[in-house]
Amino acid sequence: MNQPMWDPYDRNCPSRQVLDRIGDRWSVLVVGALSQGPLRFSELAKRVDGVSQKMLTQTLRGLERDGLISRTMFAQIPPRVEYQLSESGTGLAQPVLALETWAKENMPTIMSARENYDAKQPPQK
């Protein structure tokens, strides 16, 4: 059976939606946080500083829908829910963590480039 040709450069291809999801700031940070192991919602919210409850909920639902994370509810009082990377999500964690490492290593160069660029811009009125 032939596999469909996925082309993220085609605006109608579902693979573009996946790239949009995994390229989203919050998704990248959630996948990075979960690469260390399962976390509860409150632990994720604490780890991913600045994410609103609404945005974290939307991000987790999207990642779950795409099969990148799993949500496990434990029947106890109060109920406990944990999120963890699925097999696909674990595969995604490697390039996400490589991007994180790249960003950290290149921040001095990026900050210098920004300063140089900004210095060449005309003053704001």
* 63/55 Cα distance (integer angstroms): 12
Residues 86, 80 contacting (CB under 8 angstroms): no
Residue that is written with structure tokens 């009082």 in the block: 77
For residue range 45-59, what is the model confidence (pLDDT) as tens digits? Answer: 999 999 999 999 999
For residue range 4-47, what is the model confidence (pLDDT) as tens digits? Answer: 788 999 999 999 989 999 999 999 999 999 999 999 999 999 99
